[in-house]
Structure 1
Amino acid sequence: MTSLLCGCIFLRKMLRPYDRVLKGFRGEVVKEEPLCRHTSYRIGGPADLYLVPADEEDLKGLLGRAREAGVPTFILGNGSKLLVHDEGVRGVVVDVRKVSDRIVLKDDEVSVGAGTELDLLAAWTVGEGLEGFAELSGIPGTVGGAIAMNAGAFGRTISELLTEVRALAPDGREVVLSKHEVGFGYRKGLEGFVVLSAKFRPERKDPELLWEKRREVLKLRSEKQPLEYPSAGSVFKRPPGDYAGRLIE
């Protein structure tokens, strides 16, 4: 009886910080959610808490309470290029894909929510006759994740057409940064921040030419990558002036 009572007290103490995090939270809450369901590798043990905020304000409040309670948080987008241990993640995993996934075109400037899938943005811009995203077709990530690592393919990177990014700094402040303030590099983006949205200014081009480029890119991906199996596509950094594939072979 004594050991059972001690165990219950310990469990309550362990859950108390999570109670503080969940206070006022309006989104979806799942306990012990297997992360293998949310990664492109299809691996990963359970997260203590898997949370899907209802909107941007819900996300901001959640992260603020977690920071005050000292609860570790991990931001999850599309789950690509992630290796999650079979033992799972202690703390809170926050799925931001539903927080902001809108695309708005105004005065030749495209505003995009961080939760938008990158391939969806590529297809949408191609249809609108906006150049610069067709080469990013088929990349299995979100716009926020792409900005965090400066994703790219076929000679293009997400940062090339970026004008500004709105994000939450590690201390919780909302900031708006220009491309130059971020300091993008090869597979180096806005690390340590939570991307909320971004603005791009692409050039106009014949949609038919862009659709042709998109089809070409998707065809090359299907020929070079085992898309029928769990994977994250190409995960190797390209050495300066060379290709990782040649060095490996």
Structure 2
Amino acid sequence: METLARKLKASDVGIVKQHEPLANHTTMKIGGPAELFVEPKDIEAVKRMMEIVKETGVPWRVIGRGSNLLVKDKGVKGIVIKLEKGTDHLEVDGETVRVGGGYSLIKLVTLLSRQGLSGLEFAGGIPGSVGGAVYMNAGAHGSDMSKILKRAHILFHNGEMKWLTNEEMQFSYRTSILQNEQAVVLEAEIELKKGDRDTIVAEMQKNKDYRRETQPWNYPCCGSVFRNPLPNHAGALIEKAGLKGHQIGGAQISEMHANFIVNTGNATAKNVLDLIAFIKSTIVKKYNVELKTEVEIIGE
């Protein structure tokens, strides 16, 4: 890994660190170290880096702003690539928006709403990056990324770079084709509609306020832990089972929203995983409903 780190530094790809604690890069503030951590300085640097990585055969994975992520306590072997600064460019051309995968979703929603562009109001207050939102088909309030994405610029594991259309992304509830591919969302092109600025901003703000009032972002957390087993809602089932406030170590089922697990200060990934397992077994026993995690779990 030393040799690879030296090669990457020599090719000027951006920030390169060994044994970087991933707790510093997730909203849950939990996670062991990345064997090698790279934050590319731009899309060209991503390409250069992938050419070098491909030759070595070292495993790699990508994170965005770490808002939908739980990293295990022993960390991640291989390379963790963080797309943030350097891949956060933005171009607005009428109703078409081209945006880098590392761009903050909250920032994008706020900016475009103020420009009188409608279609992203549902994402008011959703943390994380544009790339992560496309990858997971993030959504709320009856809409999601699949409704506005025109195409996505993807870097595949074999080094191929390709624009995938909305149809080729194979979107469904909180998923896309990228769950089955090792790939990076470099950019997204979205199609919005011009509308009344004040109405759009008010809708975006309402969604943002709702999130703030109903979700416990005053504690480190990773957002919704479970997918909704429609027509049921995960939070409602967990609350009905009387699990709100249940705690294992430093990990607690939020008193505010039962589909959130919060880090009360010293939680380990093991605490969170044990709590997830406890919730799942309780809900199966009580309601014969199997909950599936929405949060992505990585590492060892």
User: How does the TM-score come out when normalised to structure 1?
Assistant: 0.89
Q: Which residue among 34, 56, 65 is the counterpart of 2:52?
A: 65
Q: CA deviation at 1:87?
A: 1.4
Distance in 2 (alpha carbons) for counterparts of 1:91 and 1:44: 15
Aligned to 2:193: 203
Instruction: Give the secondary structure class of the aligned counterpart of 1:240.
Output: coil
Output aligned runs, 1:20-169, within 5 Å. 20-169=7-156
Instruction: Return the letter of the residue paired with 1:41.
Output: M
CA contact (8 A) 1:150 1:185 kept: yes
Aligned to 1:179: 166
Distance in 2 (alpha carbons) for counterparts of 1:224 and 1:107: 34
Instruction: Return the letter of the residue paired with 2:166.
Output: K
Q: What 5-or-longer segments of structure 2 have no aligned partner?
A: 241-300
1:213 aligns to 2:200 (yes or no): no
Aligned to 1:246: 236
Instruction: Return the letter of the residue paired with 2:210.
Output: L
User: How does the TM-score come out when normalised to structure 2?
Assistant: 0.75
RMSD after superposition: 1.5
Distance in 2 (alpha carbons) for counterparts of 1:65 and 1:40: 30
Question: Which stretches of structure 1, 4 residues or longer, exceed 2 Å deviation after superposition?
Answer: 14-23
CA contact (8 A) 2:41 2:87 kept: no
Identity over aligned residues, as a percent?
37
Q: CA deviation at 1:19?
A: 4.0
> C-alpha offsets along residues 152-211 of structure 1, whole Å, 9 cap, x if unaligned?
111110121111111112211110111001111101124132111111111111111111
Q: What 5-or-longer segments of structure 1 have no aligned partner?
A: 1-13
CA contact (8 A) 2:100 2:130 kept: yes
How many aligned residue pairs are there?
Answer: 236
Instruction: Return the letter of the residue paired with 1:136.
Output: A
> C-alpha offsets along residues 76-120 of structure 1, whole Å, 9 cap, x if unaligned?
110112111221112111111123212211132111111101111
Q: CA deviation at 1:22?
A: 4.5
CA contact (8 A) 2:8 2:16 kept: no
Instruction: Give the secondary structure class of the aligned counterpart of 1:182.
Output: coil
CA contact (8 A) 2:136 2:175 kept: yes
CA contact (8 A) 1:81 1:232 kept: yes
Instruction: Give the secondary structure class of the aligned counterpart of 1:63.
Output: helix
Q: CA deviation at 1:17?
A: 4.4
